[in-house]
Amino acid sequence: MSSAFIRSRWLRQVCLPALAFFLIAMAPFLAHAQEDATQKERPRRVLPSENEPQDVIKVDTDLVPIDVTVTDSKGRLVRNLKKEDFKLFEDGIERPIASFNVEKIEGAPRPVAIVFALDLSGSMTPEEIARISDAMREFSKRLAEHPAVFAVVTFGMRVKTLQSFTGDREKLERAFERLAHEPNGMSTHTYDAVDAAVRMLARHAPLTRAHQSVKRAVVVITDGFPVGDVVSPDTVIERANAADTSVYVVTMPSYTHLLVSAQMTPLPTPLDVSGLVEKTGGRSVYANERDLGPLFRAIAEEVATAYALSFYPPIEKRNDGKFHTIRIEGPSGLTLRQSRPGYQSQKAEGRKQ
């Protein structure tokens, strides 16, 4: 038997099985090393992928967000503006815009968090409550393409959470169905209800989701006459601004019927006069029986199409404990509504809202 044959047989019977055992034992370690190398060598993207927002938002306490709704001379929403079309001023001094997002960036819809605050005081009729339920369904359907969560609170003598934040349409539907069975009251704690809604948003609806800023809003459906509130309008506005939350108010026909019977044109309600809507960048509308569905769809569209801008204040202003104004400018001939007029900086180790 030749020496070459003996060596070949020895390799097959001894070395190859040993080598195979060694490779099997080392496989997990080799795979891990290959994964680390791949991560280290993976090139950074220069342009966003199809489902990636243009501006990746850095989540920290120094970034100040603000939403802006833009309409033309006929009140129509303007959606095609770019980052370069806006200028941002802090205390009258122009600052660079750090991030910019719109309704959809490369196919990625903007997340939204909405609280419906429904007036169930004695002045609201069962027919109105039924129409409101249908209108809120229309509202949520309009936002079906967006990563959206909804909550429902009711108010009259007291504020009650009927449904906490959910993206489950069945849960939301059950909440709408329960509205007709909620007890009415003689008081109308509207500001208390908005305050509770803002607190819900601040605690349970993060400002960012999947690298996009979340649009926060409270949609109030009421007869327009707050009665018996504990929280003042100024406090509610301050807290809404701190939470970057816009308040939309739908005044129901129970109020407009009074004006019609007195042959009066719609006058500002106490909610309008308080500045709650104007100072949070929302919108106040008067409803009637025929247009609740389209009206709520229009509000949903406006909520979803706000421009989301943010900036970094100078280091010396980040913890000075003062209020700083923000002003956004856009192309001439357009009307801009900001979600808040500025931000309150916290002192020392405090966290900026």
Decide if pLDDT at 353 tops 90.
Answer: no
Nearest in space to 91 (alpha carbons), one of 67, 64, 60:
64
Nearest in space to 209 (alpha carbons), one of 146, 300, 152, 116:
146
Decide if pLDDT at 287 tops 60.
Answer: yes
Q: Count other C-beta atoms under 10 Å from residue 2's C-beta.
A: 7
The pLDDT confidence band at residue 348, using thresholds 50, 70 and 90, is low
Give the pLDDT score at 55.
40
pTM (predicted TM-score):
0.77
What is the average per-residue pLDDT within 108-130?
85
pLDDT tens per residue, range 198-221: 999 999 998 888 777 889 999 999
DSSP 201: H
Give the pLDDT score at 171.
94
DSSP 55: S
Decide which of 314 and 32 is more confident.
314
Residue 196: CB partners within 8 Å, gap ≥ 6? Answer: 117, 153, 159, 161
Give the pLDDT score at 286.
85
Inter-CA distances, 272 with 8, 11, 286, 318, Å: 94, 91, 11, 32
Contact 194/270 with Cβ under 8 angstroms? Answer: no
Q: Rounding to the nearest 10 degrees, give the CA dihedral for residues 302, 303, 309, 313.
A: 130
The pLDDT confidence band at residue 62, using thresholds 50, 70 and 90, is confident
What is the average per-residue pLDDT within 298-318?
91
Decide which of 259 and 341 is more confident.
341
What is the average per-residue pLDDT within 286-290?
74
Decide if pLDDT at 42 tops 60.
Answer: no
Inter-CA distances, 344 with 36, 108, 209, 238, Å: 44, 31, 23, 9
Nearest in space to 283 (alpha carbons), one of 265, 307, 258, 301:
301
Q: Which helix (H) or strand (E) holds 196?
A: helix 190-204
Q: What is the mean pLDDT of the chain?
A: 79
Q: Rounding to the nearest 10 degrees, give the CA dihedral for residues 133, 136, 138, 143.
A: -150
Decide if pLDDT at 11 tops 50.
Answer: no
Give the pLDDT score at 102.
79
Give the pLDDT score at 349.
58
Give the pLDDT score at 309.
92
Which pair of tokens denotes residue 239?
Answer: 């807290």
What is the average per-residue pLDDT within 140-162?
92
Give the pLDDT score at 221.
93
pLDDT tens per residue, range 64-90: 999 999 999 998 999 889 999 999 999
Decide if pLDDT at 294 tops 50.
Answer: yes
Give the pLDDT score at 261.
52
The pLDDT confidence band at residue 186, using thresholds 50, 70 and 90, is low
Give the pLDDT score at 85.
96
Residue 300: CB partners within 8 Å, gap ≥ 6? Answer: 138, 139, 140, 142, 143
Which residue blocks in 42-185 are alpha helix, DSSP H?
126-142, 169-178
The pLDDT confidence band at residue 305, using thresholds 50, 70 and 90, is confident
Tell how far CA 259 is from the center of its chain. 35
